Chain A
Amino acid sequence: MGVFVSLHAQNKQLLYGFKDVPQQILLNPGAQVDHRGYIGVPLLSHIHFNAGITGFSAFDVFADDGKDFSQKIRDVVYNMDAKDFFGFNQQLDIFSAGLTLKTSLEEMLFISFGMYQESDVFSYFPKDLAVLAYEGNHNNLNRRFDLGQLNVSAEVLSVFHLGINKKINSKWTVGVRGKIYSSIAQASSTENNGSFRTVQGADNSLNHIFDLDIKLQTSGLSFLEEPNANEGLAVLKKRLLFGGNLGVGIDLGFTHHPAPEWTIDASLQDIGFINYSKDVKNYALDGYLEYDGIQALFPEAVTDQTAQDYWDEVSTVFDELFEIDSTTTAYTKWRPIKLNSSISYNFGRKTDKECNCLDKSDPTFQNRVGAHLFAMKRPNHLQWALSAFYYRKFFKGLQLKTTYTVDAYSFKNVGLGMSAVLGPVQFYIMADNLLDYQNLAKSQSVSLQLGFNYIFKNNDN
């Protein structure tokens, strides 16, 4: 097997808890907020992109090693298994802002709101179907080709959100964020079952056993059939602004300081669902058939039935087997729920040399070290990642955070994030899998987040 590097789609271990970046509050509505407010630069306040694949990298296929290209593809296919997956996630803040309603330090209410657009594509690798395509059923008698491995989903949606963050006292901050989802287009085939097998037959050489239970649910795809591109685009714009299939959800989170040096925080994101009722088209393939060939019936000898009749029957049976039922029944899908949690230790306050006391201009801790856990529900498994992080405040205007992340596949994911403030403008950029950036082709995952905000600082910060 090749070297595996995990896909970290949607794990934003660098942004989580990075309190100088306003968008951290989207990961934990109960995060600690150190500024009075912010306005995200429209369309530029949060750009997130992540694409990844497990099981192989572009280098495995495109390495300039003189090996036959087809053979390399074949090797990749045979090295992967049905647990490998491909994922793509993209988020774009359309607008976002936050403001403090009460400015008393000990008790403040921070309201944040905005709208972002998100795309998510996720697919497991249907290994059995790939083998069937490569080899056919020859030399694979009795092998059960599992159709359940077919598991694909894709969605584009917009999310409007409003969050309330309340600092209860110096130890506790809690928050909740309500979300309205508007699904622009969605397609998923994640509940498949069944198999195809060829076994030795009783009456003929072989017996083919088709056991099909495949479903595809789609909504919002009719714009693809729209002959006029402009009208199609108009439909999409309308859906972006609550014209799509709607859903609701909430995020919950808290930050706790059992002691000034210690921080424990956690959040649950996207506890919610979308009800797909508009522009729905579902397809189902459901049937069972054992087929042992065409029996030649000699009409003069037995009955009036000819082999033609028999063939017609067989054709009908196959047509029925592969008949696709189409419905427009509404369906509901849960959003992929995400958990973030971290524990960290803060240390190193600035000292003023002249008086040998704490620097009053910046009383905050300059360093933070901790561990962060991320988990996300995927159709067939729980995707998880564990990170160690170190945060360092260089000056008021420059903060860095570095992470080292391990998960089921990778033990070499180093990430770096930076937040810089110039006057009221705050800029951040974060990327992980930096070790792979020496040769991007070897990377199986590319992740980048960046954004610009206009920040209203705290008077004391």
Chain B
Amino acid sequence: MTDVAAVYPEIIVTIVACLVLVGDTALGRRRATAALPAITVAGLALAIVATVTVVPLGHYFRGFVVVDAFTGFFRAVFLLLAIFATLVSPEYLERRRIPAGEYYATICFSTVGAMTIALSSDLITLFVGLELMTIPIYVLAGIQRGDRYSNEAALKYFLLGAFSSALLLYGFAWLYGVTRATDFAAIASYLVANGVASGPTIVALALVTVGLGFKAAVVPFHQWTPDAYEGAPTPATAFMSVGPKAAAFAAILRVLVGALGPLAVDWSIVIAVLAAVTMTAGNVVALAQGNTKRMLAYSSIAHTGYILAAVAASRAGVSAGAAVLFYLFAYGLMNLGAFACLLYVDLDGTRGASLDELNGFARREPLGALAFAVFLVSLTGIPPTIGFIAKFYVIQPVLDAGLAWLAVVIALNAVLAAFYYLRVVVRMYMYDPEGAVPRLVSPRLLSTSLGVASAAVVILGIVPNSLLEWAQRAAQPLVR
């Protein structure tokens, strides 16, 4: 039964999802709106507790599943993000008449998938986890069925997501064909034993890189991102932009660094170039956006580039892996927060906020504006925030890996990004609201959770040590 004990958190989240679905039908509409988020948050919190209760580290289910420090870190991150996403949603869902039960259940199922990726020590587990994570996200993007933009977001996300899954799977098939194994350790040791990469290995490597690149929204495989993020209902976007991104990077770390680590000489330079292109393209296009939601979508592409830079530096050892994990945590917190701040202004008939709508936001909603400003400053990477620490820890291993040019590109991009992030802050604080001001909603739950998150962004920016140590311990299993 230790096998089952090893996946208690996943079991709990699955049960929560089922409970939410049953509760949605059994409770009346009024009671459901209050009860469902409460059930979801309580269940997810219970799952976090369950991640702490220890089964001995090691392999379970005949080597299909591994529990190590890496697993623990990602489990906690995914669960925290899911809780955060649940807390900011209820008021919006009610306003837009989005079916609440389906929404929360979908988030839970997606979280189970993401946690399965973190658990995986085998291509099969990883692929199942990846699909279990993504398919609910397609549903989430299109959950507002009557809305054309939501439909379009879901359709584009789905078509490219399915395509990328197929590419990835074909890559996995070849990997299996070449190495005769599906578990990461065996693949790695085969590659070490057989020296240089052969033709089929390179084909597999290319397919896997492209497939995972789609999932993480790496330029040039990012085209679905802006539309999917802009069209999806805003709280769904907030979750989509962080959960699947972190999960995609968990998969990248497990597959590229874990299983295909022996081929690092072949892929690290490609990844480094992709990282540079991704961050630059994301930032440049974000500069030109007049819609805040779309701007944040492009900015999330830019952040993919920074994280990818740390992946490219994996030669530098533990510090590179730790940088990826730390950045993912920071990114999750601040990006989810930033998207959630748009919920204040996202009224009926608007899609995300145009920049003009944010004029004078600080006077109308002081606390909301303060939280938004904190998230934006953190996304820029200005000192007393977690965003600064994250960028700092990315640059270090990049230099250690001998990629000085990439470090320069990162620094230049950080300056470039400051323009469009701080522009929003300036508009919120220095401009007067224009014309007829639409009525703002000020939901209490949203404000409270954003307050807590923005406080965490600042506090962890001042005392990042314990989090960093945790990330370092979690990155240890990746280094052989």
Q: Do A and B bind each other?
A: no
- Which residues from chain B sit less than 8 Å from chain A, CB to CB? none
